[in-house]
Structure 1
Amino acid sequence: MFKTVVTKPFDDQKPGTSGLRKKVPEFQQENYVENFIQSVFDSLEGFKGKTLVIGGDGRYYNREVVQIAAKMAAANGFGRVLVGKGGILSTPAASNVIRKHKAFGGLILSASHNPGGPTEDFGIKYNIGNGGPAPEKITEAIFARSKTITQYMIADAPDFDIDAIGSQKLGAMDVEVIDPVTDYAELMETLFDFDAIRALIKSGFTLRFDSMHAVTGPYGKEILERRLGAPEGTCINFVPLEDFGGHHPDPNLVYAKDLYDLLMSSDGPDFGAASDGDGDRNLIIGKGIFITPSDSLAMLAANAHLAPGYKSGLAGIARSMPTSGAADRVAEKLNIGMYETPTGWKFFGNLLDAGMATICGEESSGTGSNHVREKDGLWAVLLWLNILAVRKLSVMQIAHEHWATYGRNYYSRHDYEGVDTSGANKLMDDLRARLPALPGTSVQGLKITHADDFAYHDPVDKSVSEHQGIRILFEGGSRVVFRLSGTGTSGATIRLYIERYEPDPKRHDLETQAALADLVRAAHELADIKGHTGRDKPSVIT
């Protein structure tokens, strides 16, 4: 029933911040998927007879890898596999399934916000029993094993019916195909006041939710239209497609421009939102106003007590280092803990498990809470709707009241995508070498007060993560941050984060890029971006 297959290692199976991501043709190489999954299993202990969750965002090659993963789980001794119907599970829903059903862990098949299709991106990541991404000690063990692997085990069995809800057998292992939405929708009903949101919608409040032909389509239709009563047509692009309809499923102002334009129009809806490929990111736009992910985190944290699931208050807030300091001021006013971590949701897991943080966020459109151990796009949308229903104010009114109370952090990210890797590395190395000499100097009329290469000391497990991004801070609370992204599949992406703190309410209506222009010039001068990359403009501004 089971067979052992002799194989040879690949030298490029190092997981990044969100698992292993490559182009589909690379995953389609003989034994490539099998080698990585076996390396995962070989790096774990104590899973015999336990439950494994498998699901993905529905992108090209998802269904095939679900079958491979299930057969390998059977051969390696798992007792049960839970699979989303059609191989579909949003990343936050998969985290919830792992937690609710007390699974040993899960394999999530996704490349998140990256494009899909026969020549585009695919990904595999392992989540542990708390529902969160594997910590670095496990991903490092997986990579080490992938470099020495000589064989893998797989069931010699026909494919199971991935589209039939119910129990099946794969050898001695149970396979249970589940509705991908049900458990997640039930969890949302425990967190939010669905009656208040229904009343808001019934009163004439209008909204639009764009799933970008990705995984949250079925979730949006079930929760927003069926359970909350939003009219049909509220959810758009709701059918998950293997190539996301040929679009880039990244909910930002570049790839969701149609939604932005609609919300900026005179006859647009009151509220607009979008989610990404695997459902863990979100875009929030009110009528006439875009809410940056950094501001969204701060505003959600400041108002979370209005939702039933958070009425007792927050234990703390955590944000990734590149995320703006807007949430820090909320934490200070609430007198709760504030934690600054490296980029990557796995760094929030210890804080959430230890009860030190309740709400977490990243500037790259990710927010979430202790309800799961992943960021959660639709959760953020529902919390916004709950807040709007209770406060009976517009998104714009909430934003302006928030800035008047806490000050405004003007914030933007400039991405230089597909840059030559050697040039990107040299930019970072050259800048890193200059850090000790920068404090006390000025650039573009801005005085530098601090410069470092961010290192994170985990307060729970005492682990240390170094070289997590270069920070240069200026007088008055402004800063620029340089970081190489770990989520792409080709070349290098340099991310430049620019932030200016403005306490004066009279200056809270400036155009963002204009407010940041001198900081952008300073960043270019400090890092010599054009000299290292040949680029004088970013690929994407968000």
Structure 2
Amino acid sequence: MQTAGWRRGANDWRRLLPLAAGTLLLGLGLFCAWQTWLIAVEQGAAERVEQSQQEAVRAVGEEIAATRTRASEALATIDPIVQDDPALLAAAVRRRLPQVLAVEVYSAGLDEVLHADYRTFGYAKAAQLLAAQADDGIAPVQSVSVKGERRLSLVLPLGPASQPRAWLWLEFPFAPIKQRFTAVSPAGGRLELRQGDERGELSLLATGSSAATLATVVAVPGSSFSVSAGRPEAFIVLPRSWLLAACLAVLGIAGGAYVLWRRVHPRGSPDLETEEIMVSDIKLNQPQPARPAVREAAPAAARVEVDAGIFRAYDVRGVVGKTLTAEVARVLGQAIGALMREKQLTEIVVGRDGRLSGPELAGALADGLRAAGIDVIDVGAVPTPVIYYATYRFETGSCVAVTGSHNPPDYNGFKIMVGGETLSEGAIQDLYRRIRAGDLPGDGHGGLRQVEIVPDYIERITSDVQAERALKVVVDCGNGIPGAVAPQVLEGIGCEVIPLYCEVDGHFPNHHPDPSDPHNLEDLILAVKKTGADLGVAFDGDGDRLGVVSREGEIIYPDRLLMLFARDVLSRRPGATIIYDVKCTGHLKEEILAAGGSPLMWRTGHSLIKAKMRETGAELAGEMSGHFFFKERWYGFDDGIYAGARLLEILAGDPAGRSPEEIFATLPKGVSTPELKIPMAEGEHYRFIEKFKQSAHFEGATLVTIDGVRADWPDGWGLVRASNTTPVLVLRFDADDKAALKRIQDAFRAELLKVEPNLKLPF
């Protein structure tokens, strides 16, 4: 019986072998046929992308040539009488070229360019002007950025190029170039308009799939531009020869079909081996048990348990490994992707700070976004303001900064912008709702590309902000990610930088990266005094907040800095709205009014402030925490590094030549406290504030309740509010003198203890 069973098994295997071999050959043949099709399609796609590239080069070149021709013809018609007067000449050019944005006249020998301070004048501008002399008057057209606006720059001689009477620098709108370039279809690939050489190439415009790999470059005649082209990479494992792939396909399919056919039609009749049949092998009329129906279970969608407490008012934030994991980051990415798909947005910038958990969380977030069908631009480890800048630079309108900001090392989180709106409150809770409901798309195949954005960010600031004299400044980055960028920016605007704790270290070994806490500024104050620096600046963990100390070691609180910024902005934007949060001094309103501005107090929170700026069109905003938002000459997002550069520009460019201490002394101040905090259980601080609003009574004070309770008297004010980032009550007091400060604190003490008699007060 055992021998018979063995023989039957051996025969079964012999019968199955041809079936397996034929199926394998047929499968390989079909795979090769698919590869043949991919190779043919790829070659056709490459030709179409190449044609689009040539069309883009031709379109941009034609627009450049037309602009140069119009400008040359206009110069040829100018009356010789005005050609020796630069002002009259510039005015005549403007009349003949209404579309020109800027006209500058330089001498025939370009002496003023040769002896210019290129840091102020601009290296690229000087190079373009000097190239005109070397290139027979035909300097390549290029693009320049003027206060965030992209323009086309052109240099032309007045008269013959060999003996010009003068040289003219002309700036035209970049929009016609953009219109001609974007009108060209990328044909399923990707086209990028770039400027510069391989050492300093700058991407100006891009169309098509972000997943395409740029391969070929064609220069645009008469310019420093080039058009790069790439096609999406297909999954091709065979050599890229359609003839070879086709031969392999034919061999595989034919071989597999033959083997399967021979199995069905064997040659001759096989010799049948007679088996001895045992009586025990036969079961007569025994009913076979019915087989139960087999039902294959559908795989259940994996649900990730997410702590609702990490979804806060301004961002998503939690403790790594506990409330915040890679899985949480991934589903958050899917939720953000779902929101973007509803808004028909397809591309997002993702970056991270220097925390140890950043790479894992940022990678998981990107995976979730890509699973939702969103293309990701990864800018790597950079300060949060650089991520915001990249969002504007690449015109995505959406970004996520993976950052724990000023929180302890074991924290991390996500600051989120979608469609130009920084998510807060209800929009943050909507992401939690989507995750809890499992409303998470996972069928997408978003692309991923990594971009180096820091040099562009530094160039953008240093091309606009300059210090007229070299101030010596100590820069304390608290081992946060600003250490990789801030010193370069401040050196670039013309200051002497003394770095302090600028090595990026996610353990924060020296002090906590939170400049709003005076204890964290002690080392900076000591360093400023020891080095004889003019002042010291400090940044928080992700670089969106600024702290400042004077030469004498005085902390210049952000509400006083906002007075200085308001004066500067209002000198160019009279009547502009200036927003400040409820924690700022009462003197700020008076200073804004005195400078000709329109003051507006608003709720604390970077996302809430930015939303109010969009609503009111404000040119400047600031918070007591050190967030500053410049719309004038910048983009309106909170940027501690840019704010530091603007501060140094103001201090170094004082018309009266005053020292920073003398300028700070003009900013009114009273007797004030830093932010005082009362820890509470999670959620209890919100309930306390609601009770306090109902019961608080302050004789003779004006109450403001847009964010907690603020009581203003003629000689000072006090505030208590619930923090939206940590479970604490935040208090601050400010008055004209110590007696008034004590009176206000006593009044608040009585009202606070009326709500909770056992409350431990820090004042």
Same fold by TM (over 0.5)?
yes
Amino acid at match of 2:312: G
TM-aligned CA deviation for residue 529 of structure 1:
8.7
- Whether the aligned pair in 2 keeps the contact of 1:321 and 1:342 (CA below 8 Å) is yes
CA contact (8 A) 2:355 2:403 kept: yes
Q: Does 1:449 align with 2:701?
A: yes
Deviation digits for residues 86-126 of structure 1 (CA, Å, limit 9, x no counterpart): x312111111111121114111111211121xxx1110121
Q: Displacement of 1:179 after TM fit?
A: 2.3
Structure with a larger share of its residues in strand: 1
Q: Which residue is equivalent to 2:341?
A: 45
The 3 A distance-change label for structure 1 pair 280 and 54 is same
| 1:507 matched residue in structure 2 | none
Deviation at 1:420, TM superposition (A): 3.4
Partners of 2:626 and 2:326 in 1: how far apart?
35
Which of the numbers 447, 454, 466 marks the counterpart of 1:181? Answer: 454
Residue number in structure 2 paired with 1:71: 367
1:434 corresponds to which residue?
695
Q: CA offsets, 1:312-344, max 9 Å, x none?
A: 557220011222233312321233322221111
For 1:123-522, list aligned pairs within 5 A.
Answer: 123-130=413-420, 133-149=422-438, 153=442, 173-192=446-465, 194=466, 197=467, 199-201=468-470, 205-225=471-491, 227-231=492-496, 234-245=498-509, 247-252=511-516, 253-263=518-528, 265=529, 268-288=532-552, 289-304=554-569, 311-313=572-574, 315-354=576-615, 356-370=617-631, 371-391=634-654, 392-403=657-668, 408-421=669-682, 424-425=685-686, 427-435=688-696, 438-439=697-698, 441=699, 448-452=700-704, 454-455=705-706, 468-474=707-713, 476-488=714-726, 492-500=727-735, 502=736, 516-522=741-747
Please tell me the residue identity of whatever aligns with 2:451. Answer: I
User: Which residue is 1:163 aligned to?
Assistant: none
Corresponding position of 1:99? 392
1:14–1:29 CA distance, 2 compared to 1 (3 A): closer
- Note the C-alpha offset of 1:145: 1.8
TM-superposed deviation, 1:450: 2.6
Match of 2:748 among 500, 523, 533: 523
Secondary structure, aligned partner of 1:528: helix
Q: 1:137 to 1:151 in 2, by over 3 A?
A: closer
For structure 2, list consecutive stretches of 5 or more residues without a partner in the other structure: 1-233, 235-298
- Given that 1:469 and 1:482 are in contact with CA atoms closer than 8 Å, whether structure 2 keeps it comes out as yes
- Structure 1 CA distance for aligned equivalents of residues 606 and 485 of structure 2: 22
- Give the Cα separation in 2 of the matches to 1:339 and 1:272: 29
Question: In 2 relative to 1, CA 424–255 (structure 1 residues): closer, same or farther, beyond 3 Å?
Answer: same
Provide the rounded CA distance (Å) in 1 between the counterparts of 2:430 and 2:687.
Answer: 28
Tell me how far apart the structure 2 counterparts of residues 514 and 153 of structure 1 sit (CA, whole Å). Answer: 63
Do the aligned partners of residues 352 and 183 (structure 1) sit closer, same or farther apart at CA in structure 2, a change above 3 Å counting?
A: farther
Q: How far apart, in 2, do the equivalents of 1:278 and 1:498 lie?
A: 28
How many residues are paired up?
A: 460
Q: Which amino acid in the other structure matches residue 344 of structure 1?
A: G
Q: Give the C-alpha shift of residue 191 in structure 1.
A: 3.7
CA contact (8 A) 2:474 2:527 kept: no
CA distance in structure 1 between the aligned counterparts of 2:435 and 2:761, rounded to whole angstroms: 39
Deviations 1:191-219 (A, max 9, x none): 42x2xx2x511xxx321011111111121
Contact 2:373–2:443 (8 Å) recurs in 1: no
CA distance in 1, matches of 2:435, 2:757: 33
Cross-structure match for 2:378: 83
2-structure distance, mates of 1:4, 1:207? 59
Per-residue CA shift, 1:228-268, capped at 9, x if unaligned?
Answer: 4545x6122112222223631101311121112334x3753
Q: CA RMSD in A?
A: 2.9
Q: Return closer, same or farther for 1:523/1:416 CA change in 2, 3 Å cut-off.
A: same
* C-alpha distance in 1 between matches for 2:315 and 2:593: 34
Contact persistence 2:434–2:440 (CA under 8 A): no
Q: Report the Cα distance in structure 2 between the residues aligned to 1:13 and 1:146, rounded to whole angstroms.
A: 14
Structure with more relative contact order (C-alpha pairs < 8 Å, separation 6 or more): 1
Deviation, 1:384, is: 1.3
Q: What letter is aligned with 2:733?
A: I
Q: 1:374 to 1:417 in 2, by over 3 A?
A: farther
Q: 1:13 to 1:434 in 2, by over 3 A?
A: closer
Question: Does the 8 Å contact 2:310/2:323 carry over to 1?
Answer: no
State the identity as a percent.
18
Structure 1 length as normaliser, TM-score?
0.77
Match for 2:648: what amino acid?
L
Change in Cα spacing, 1:185 to 1:267, as seen in structure 2 (3 Å) is closer
Q: Whose radius of gyration is greater, 1 or 2?
A: 2
Q: Distance in 2 between matches of 1:81 and 1:43?
A: 15
1:11 and 1:147 in contact (8 A); partners too? no
Aligned residue number for residue 164 of structure 1: none
Q: For the residues of structure 1 that align with 2:575 and 2:386, how far apart are their CA atoms?
A: 22
Which amino acid in the other structure matches residue 513 of structure 2? P
Q: 1:525 to 1:385 in 2, by over 3 A?
A: same
Q: Residue type matched to 2:537 in 1? A: A
**CA displacement at 1:278 relative to structure 2:** 0.7
**CA spacing shift, 1:101–1:189, aligned 2, 3 Å:** same
State how far apart, in whole Å, the 1-side matches of 2:582 and 2:306 are.
Answer: 33
1:413 aligned counterpart, secondary structure:
coil
The 8 Å contact of residues 9 and 150 in structure 1, kept in 2 or not, is answered as no
Q: Deviations over 1:382-426 (max 9, x none)?
A: 1111111111222221122233xxxx3543234325333476455
